[in-house]
Chains A and B, each alone.
Chain A
Amino acid sequence: MRWKDEFTCWRLRCRIVIHPCAVPIPSSPSLLTVRGLSFSRNEEPLFGPLDFSVDAGEALLVRGDNGVGKTTLLRVLAGLLRADQGGLEIEGHAADRESRARAIAYLGHLPAFKADLTSLENLEFLCALHGRREGRSFEAAMATVGLAGYEDSPARTLSAGQKKRLSLARMWLSPAPLWLLDEPYANLDLDGIDLVNRLIVGHLDDGGATLVTTHGAYAAPPVKTRELVMRRARWEAAA
Chain B
Amino acid sequence: MIGAARALLQRDLRLLWRRRGDALQPALFAVLVVVLFALGLGGEAALLAKVAPAVLWLAVLLSGMLSLDTLFRGDAEDGSLDQWLLAPVPLSWLVAMRVLGHWLTTALPLLLAVPLLAELMQLPRAQLPLLMMSLLIGTPLLSLIGAVVAALTVGMRRAGILLALLALPLYVPVLVFGAGAVAADAQGLDASGALLMMGAGLAASAVLAPLTAAAALRIALSGE
Contacts and interface: CB of A to CB of B under 8 A. Distances in A.
A and B co-occur in one complex: yes
Give the secondary structure class of B's interface. Answer: helix
Contacts of A106: 82-83, 86
Interface residues of B, number: 27
A79 B86 contact: yes
A100 B14 contact: no
Given A114-B11, A117-B15, A131-B88, A80 B221 contact: yes
A71 to B, nearest CB: 10
B49 to A, nearest CB: 43
A117 B14 contact: yes
A230 to B, nearest CB: 19
B4 interface: yes
Interface of A: 78-82, 98, 100-102, 104-106, 108-117, 121, 124-126, 128-131
Contacts of A105: 86
Contact of B15 (A104, A110, A116, A124): A116
Interface string B85-112: 1111100001000000000000000000
A113 B86 contact: no
Contacts of A115: 78
A121 B14 contact: yes
B79 A110 contact: yes
B37 interface: no
Interface of B: 3-4, 6-8, 10-11, 14-15, 18-19, 74, 77-80, 82-89, 94, 221-222
Contacts of A113: 78
B93 to A, nearest CB: 11
Given A80-B85, A102-B88, A129-B87, A109 B79 contact: yes
Contacts of B74: 114
Contacts of A116: 14-15, 18-19
A109 B3 CA distance: 27
A105 B94 CA distance: 18
* Most chain B CB neighbours (cut-off 10 Å) among A78, A101, A104, A124: A101
A110 B78 contact: yes
Given A82-B222, A114-B15, A130 B78 contact: no
Contacts of B94: 129
